[in-house]
């Protein structure tokens, strides 16, 4: 009997997790590598950012997920390079800071993406992104601190800028975030303060395109815009952000004019850039990445010239049967389907079978706007309002990993729905202390 | 009609919170000052440290608690000094880093305490304390990281030291923490790893006194010791800690000998030192603090010579009717009762009535050891085992602030009880990255 096929999966997001889970019971030796010891249910990160949910409720420890999947080991580490010739992944092991070479027969890279600041990395300190758990907690602290600062601010102009919140990017995440901040100000926090009226807060949703949810049908965009305005969100469309600093956001316009808006709290949810692992992989394979940093893979998601190396999720573009290259939307369902596809392909290869190229089954688009409002597009059908929201809720609870998290999130949402409250409104120490050292008493 | 009495309460722990809540509806202008925007249910912090609970489940936003108490305003700030002559509290306001002087007619200081390192502050980086939420999260990350490090460690001696956990101090918190780490290793994490057997982990509970729970009856200590040993905790009694560094703990002994134990993870739960506010208050009043940093107050909890300034909780010693000074145990019930007492006294004074001195009603002592085991002492009665655990559970859920937290904690405990799991096993970024800068993809 030969040695078991060694499969290494890099990344525990939707793509990597679904690939690994779909390999349960396969006669392989599987290693899943991630920098974090948990899978993050990223679509709900914005709810952590507004205090509706706790981090642990949208995160599942990877070791718990794979506890009973005996062919799988989890490795906590950061992948720093690939040696495609020697078939090794170089990993900086986080617990001891040592670099190890992990050999593979088959490699699956699912590094994901992050928000891009369009070359303005200097904006990042003033406008944290909403993709990681830490980003979400940072935003939570900033938003809550802004209300605290407004409460004690005597100068009316400064107070107004503390009560002005800007969300950059009107994709699903930006729409959800803006809606939640408006609800926080107009509903949850109403009456919490004594000097300020939180309902007077301004929430601006800024989008360079001329409509919200640019990837949805224009009719969905119109409905979403109306719902956002009802929630108290002001839309700023067709204007790019050209500057961000500690207390203002500068907007450009088509005629070259600029407008400076006093705002102390900015949330970044625009632009997408592939994980740097895509570039590393492309360099090692002698290919190139596109403008968004994505590596190109074949129809079966393998790296050109490396049939045993796969890349999946929103760090890749896929070559079609006609040779054209296109990127699928950067959505969780794409990553999940690609993860499952690669797992199936690996199983087939073990049995000596060939596999057809990957095909994406578009299940539709979903975005929620606020209490009991959402937009759903399923094929030609478009649903809005409460039915769409019920669908959104069902899908999100269904795909949350772990029974306990599903139950807790449902319970939190039920309580929030009834009480209009948000339970997790903690300002964390680092943010509250502004970086200063704090004592423990 | 004269101006309203201005009452300032410093600290949103048990003492300050219960004082403020007991003043609901009183014809006063009340300001509650705290460095954090939430009340922490400190007795359950150790459950956050072992991943059984999430931070938000044991913390309640102060503004939400006082939303409908219209005579109360919450101020987010750190008290840096008292001006007893001018009747002002100097506060560094956290949202804008400016110092403000808050005037008062009546002042209540409830600054609490923290663990003391017996003058060995250099031990702190290696042995975080278990009193704050940040301390608990730090410990959670260290404990989980230790298992991760052991999993990839080739050297057997180093692996053993990664799998050795030392808890210093066998009061209720140390007992609970040691029991939880043992359960984590022997039960929750069992089967999560592939190279190590977590059940081989060593959990040492070190106590300078000659028994665990030194403040309980010796029979309770014996029962607790037996239960801990059944859980797999090794007791090291009558031996003080004389040294801690990154990979070892040194124990002293009566005969002057020393023993070095290889251990990478140390939790500190020993010694108690009053908040530095006690010293500031004493200095301003021309009095002194005791060895543990506590300020002495009169029988009505007022500062000698300052009948309008009160100090409560475990930062004070109380002068009895016979002139003797004694410290009550540093327990939540003491702080709660003193908070309520001061509130009543303030109400009485408003009506021109005098008040009898404070009297502590000892409701007993509680400590839990592990799944369904606890020790309770109520007056002369001592209860152990499941009935004590049910009592412990009931009392803790009852005193948790907020309906939502009660429900969530009960649900978490129920799930953990049934599944032997722990849902909140996240290694947070700061700890996982070991202080290095991490990217966001």
The residue of chain B with its CA nearest to that of A434 is B94
Q: How far is CA B249 from CA A73, B205, B279, in A?
A: 32, 12, 31
Q: What is the pLDDT of residue A2?
A: 58
Q: Residues 159 to 178 of B: which have CB under 8 A from any A CB?
A: none
Give A193's DSSP letter: -
Residues in chain A where the model's pLDDT stays below 70? 1-2, 429-441
Whether residues A148 and B95 touch (CB distance < 8 A) is answered with: yes
Length of chain B measured in residues = 441
Q: Does B11 touch chain A (CB under 8 A)?
A: no
Output b/e per residue, A292-321; b: 16+ Cβ within 10 A.
bbbbbbbebbbbeebebbbbbbbbbbbbee
CATH no. for B121-271+365-432: 3.50.50.100
Give the CATH number of domain B5-115+273-350; options: 3.30.200.20, 1.10.510.10, 3.50.50.60, 1.10.8.60.
3.50.50.60
Cα–Cα dist A103/A366, whole Å = 40
Q: What is the pLDDT of residue A80?
A: 97
- Helix-strand-coil split of chain A, %, nearest 5: 35, 25, 35
Whether residues B148 and A37 touch (CB distance < 8 A) is answered with: yes
Whether residues A36 and B151 touch (CB distance < 8 A) is answered with: no
Greatest alpha-carbon pair distance for chain A in Å reads 78
- The residues, any chain, with a CB within 8 Å of residue B94's CB and separated by 6 or more, are A145, A148, A432, A433, A434, B35, B76, B77, B78
Helix axes A385-399, A403-419, angle to 10 degrees: 150
Domain with CATH 3.50.50.100 in chain B: 121-271+365-432
- Cα angle: A150, vertex A151, A157; to 5 degrees: 35
Q: How far is CA B65 from CA B12, B109, B400, in A?
A: 11, 19, 12
Whether residues A54 and B59 touch (CB distance < 8 A) is answered with: no
Q: Residues 386 to 425 of B: which have CB under 8 A from any A CB?
A: 402-405, 407-408, 411-412, 415, 419, 421, 423-425
Q: How far is CA B269 from CA A231, B139, B174, B217, B373, in A?
A: 48, 12, 5, 20, 21
DSSP B300-364: TSEETTEEEEEE-STTEEEE-TTS-EEPPP--HHHHHHHHHHHHHHHHHHHTT---PPP------
Q: Which of A233, A122, A108 is nearest to A170 (CA)?
A: A233
Helix residue ranges per DSSP H, A93-217:
133-152, 156-162, 172-183
Task: Mutate one of B114, B133, B426, B431 to test the A interface: name it (highest A CB count within 10 A).
Answer: B426
Q: Residues 63 to 102 of B: which have CB under 8 A from any A CB?
A: 63-64, 67-68, 73, 75-76, 93-97, 100
3-state secondary structure of A374: strand
Q: Which residues of B touch A153 (CB under 8 A)?
A: 96
Beta-sheet pairing, A72-83 with A28-34: parallel
pTM for this one? 0.89
What count of other Cβ atoms lies within 10 Å of the Cβ of residue A230?
13
- For residue B24, how many C-alpha atoms fall within 13 Å in the half-sphere facing its CB? 9
Q: Which of A119, A111, A117 is nearest to A315 (CA)?
A: A111
In degrees and rounded to multiples of 5, residue A107 shows phi and psi of: -120, 135
Residues A347, A20 contacting (CB under 8 angstroms): no
Query: A121-269, what's its fold?
Result: FAD/NAD(P)-binding domain (3.50.50)
DSSP B11-41: --SHHHHHHHHHTTT-SEEEEEEESSSEEE-
Task: Mutate one of A40, A56, A58, A435 to test the B interface: name it (highest B CB count within 10 A).
Answer: A56
Task: Mutate one of A68, A109, A330, A441 to test the B interface: name it (highest B CB count within 10 A).
Answer: A441
Whether residues A441 and B277 touch (CB distance < 8 A) is answered with: yes
pLDDT in tens, A368-425: 987 788 999 998 899 998 899 889 988 998 888 877 788 888 888 888 777 777 777 8
Whether residues A432 and B35 touch (CB distance < 8 A) is answered with: yes
Whether residues B95 and A59 touch (CB distance < 8 A) is answered with: no
3-state secondary structure of A146: helix
Q: Residues 109 to 128 of B: which have CB under 8 A from any A CB?
A: 111-115
Cα–Cα dist B295/A268, whole Å = 49
Query: What are the residues facing A373 on neighbouring strands?
Result: A370
3-state secondary structure of A328: coil
Whether residues A441 and B134 touch (CB distance < 8 A) is answered with: no
Domain with CATH 3.50.50.60 in chain B: 5-115+273-350
Q: Which residues of B touch A439 (CB under 8 A)?
A: 114, 276
Q: Which residues of A touch B274 (CB under 8 A)?
A: 441
Min Cα–Cα distance to chain B from A66, Å: 7
Q: Which two tokens stand for residue B369?
A: 């050891």
- For residue B236, how many C-alpha atoms fall within 13 Å in the half-sphere facing its CB? 22
Q: Which two tokens stand for residue B18?
A: 């219960």
Residues B423, A53 contacting (CB under 8 angstroms): no
Residues A338, A300 contacting (CB under 8 angstroms): no
Residues B148, A95 contacting (CB under 8 angstroms): yes
Helix residue ranges per DSSP H, B232-315:
276-285
The residue of chain B with its CA nearest to that of A147 is B95
Q: Which residues of A touch B272 (CB under 8 A)?
A: none
Helix axes A14-22, A332-350, angle to 10 degrees: 30
For A426, the closest of B38, B51, B146 (CB atoms) is B38
Give A43's DSSP letter: G
Give A289's DSSP letter: B
DSSP B139-188: HHHHHHHHHHHHHH---HHHHHHHTEEEEE--SHHHHHHHHHHHHIIIII
For B440, the closest of A64, A94, A135 (CB atoms) is A135
What count of other Cβ atoms lies within 10 Å of the Cβ of residue B262?
15
Query: What are the residues facing A107 on neighbouring strands?
Result: A8, A309
Q: Which two tokens stand for residue A211?
A: 């409509």
In degrees and rounded to multiples of 5, residue B336 shows phi and psi of: -60, -50
List per-residue pLDDT tens for chain B, 441 residues long: 458 999 999 999 999 999 999 999 999 999 999 999 999 999 999 999 998 898 989 999 999 999 999 999 999 999 999 999 999 999 999 888 889 999 999 999 999 999 999 889 999 999 999 888 889 999 999 999 999 999 999 999 999 999 999 999 999 999 999 999 999 999 999 989 999 999 999 999 999 999 999 999 999 999 999 999 999 999 999 999 999 999 999 999 888 889 999 999 999 999 889 999 999 999 999 999 999 999 999 999 999 999 999 999 999 999 988 889 999 999 999 999 999 999 999 999 999 998 899 999 998 899 998 778 899 999 889 999 889 988 998 899 888 887 778 888 888 888 877 777 777 788 875 433 332 222 222
- The residues, any chain, with a CB within 8 Å of residue A359's CB and separated by 6 or more, are none
Q: Does B197 touch chain A (CB under 8 A)?
A: no
Q: Which two tokens stand for residue B52?
A: 């059984």
Q: Where are the beta strands (DSSP E) in A346-427?
A: 365-370, 373-378, 381-384
Beta-sheet pairing, B88-93 with A241-245: unpaired
For B192, the closest of A67, A132, A434 (CB atoms) is A67
Q: Does A57 touch chain B (CB under 8 A)?
A: yes
Whether residues A37 and B425 touch (CB distance < 8 A) is answered with: yes
Q: Which residues of B touch A95 (CB under 8 A)?
A: 145-146, 148-149, 151-152
Strand order from edge to edge, sheet including B316-319: B295-297, B316-319, B325-326
* Inter-chain contacts counted by CB atoms under 8 A, chains A and B: 193
ipTM confidence: 0.85
Cα–Cα dist A388/A164, whole Å = 30
Min Cα–Cα distance to chain B from A395, Å: 21
Residues A92, A23 contacting (CB under 8 angstroms): no
Q: Does B353 touch chain A (CB under 8 A)?
A: no
Q: Which two tokens stand for residue A418?
A: 């009834």
At which residue do the structure tokens 């799991």 appear? B421
The long-range contacts involving B189-196, CB below 8 angstroms and separated by at least 24 positions, are: B189/A63, B189/B147, B191/A67, B191/A68, B192/A63, B192/A64, B192/A67, B192/B147, B193/A63, B193/B147, B193/B150, B193/B151, B194/A73, B194/B151, B195/B150, B195/B151, B195/B152, B196/B147, B196/B150, B196/B151, B196/B159, B196/B163
Q: Which two tokens stand for residue A219?
A: 């009719």
Residues B342, B44 contacting (CB under 8 angstroms): no
Residues B46, B418 contacting (CB under 8 angstroms): no
Q: Which of B279, B277, B243, B283 is nearest to B261 (CA)?
A: B243
Cα–Cα dist B322/B303, whole Å = 17
Cα–Cα dist B370/B181, whole Å = 10
Domain with CATH 3.50.50.100 in chain A: 121-269
Kindly tell me the burial class for residue A142, based on how many C-beta atoms sit within 10 Å of its own C-beta (0-12, 13-18, 19 or more).
buried
């Amino acid at each position: 009997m030969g040695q078991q096929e060694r499969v290494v999966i890099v990344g525990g997001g939707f793509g990597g997790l679904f690939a690994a889970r779909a390999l349960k019971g396969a006669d392989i030796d599987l290693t899943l590598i991630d920098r974090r010891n948990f899978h993050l249910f990223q679509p709900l990160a914005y709810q952590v950012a507004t205090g509706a949910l706790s981090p642990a409720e949208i995160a599942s420890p990877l070791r718990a997920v794979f506890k009973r999947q005996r062919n799988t080991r989890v490795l906590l580490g950061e992948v720093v390079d690939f040696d495609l010739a020697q078939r090794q992944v170089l990993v900086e092991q986080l617990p001891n800071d040592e670099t190890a070479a992990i050999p593979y027969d088959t490699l699956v890279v699912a590094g994901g993406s992050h928000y891009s600041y369009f070359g303005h990395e200097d904006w990042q300190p003033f406008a944290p992104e909403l993709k990681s758990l830490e980003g979400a907690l940072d935003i939570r602290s900033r938003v809550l601190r802004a209300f605290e600062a407004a409460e004690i601010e005597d100068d009316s102009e400064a107070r107004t800028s503390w009560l002005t919140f800007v969300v950059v990017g009107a994709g699903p995440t930006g729409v959800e975030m803006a809606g939640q901040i408006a609800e926080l100000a107009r509903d949850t926090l109403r009456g919490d303060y004594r000097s300020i009226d939180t309902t007077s807060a301004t929430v601006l949703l800024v989008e360079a395109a001329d409509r919200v949810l640019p990837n949805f049908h224009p009719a969905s965009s119109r409905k979403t815009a109306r719902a956002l305005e009802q929630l108290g969100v002001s839309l700023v469309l067709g204007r790019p952000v050209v500057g961000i600093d500690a207390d203002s956001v500068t907007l450009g316009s088509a005629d070259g004019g600029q407008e400076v808006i006093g705002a102390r709290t900015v949330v970044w949810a625009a632009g997408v850039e592939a994980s740097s692992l895509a570039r590393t992989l492309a360099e090692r394979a002698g290919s190139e990445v596109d403008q968004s940093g994505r590596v190109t893979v074949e129809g079966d998601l393998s790296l050109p010239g490396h049939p045993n190396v796969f890349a999946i999720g929103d760090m890749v573009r896929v070559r079609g049967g006609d040779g054209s290259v296109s990127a699928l939307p950067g959505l969780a369902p794409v990553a999940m389907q690609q993860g499952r596809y690669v797992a199936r392909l690996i199983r087939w290869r073990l049995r000596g079978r060939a596999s057809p190229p990957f095909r994406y089954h578009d299940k539709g688009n979903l975005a929620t706007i606020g209490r009991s409002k959402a937009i759903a597009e399923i094929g030609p059908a478009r649903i809005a309002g409460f039915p769409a929201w019920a669908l959104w809720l069902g899908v999100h609870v269904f795909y949350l990993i772990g029974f306990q998290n599903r139950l807790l999130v449902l319970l939190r949402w039920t309580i929030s729905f009834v009480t209009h409250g948000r339970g997790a409104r903690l300002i964390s120490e680092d943010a509250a202390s502004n970086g200063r050292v704090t004592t423990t008493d």
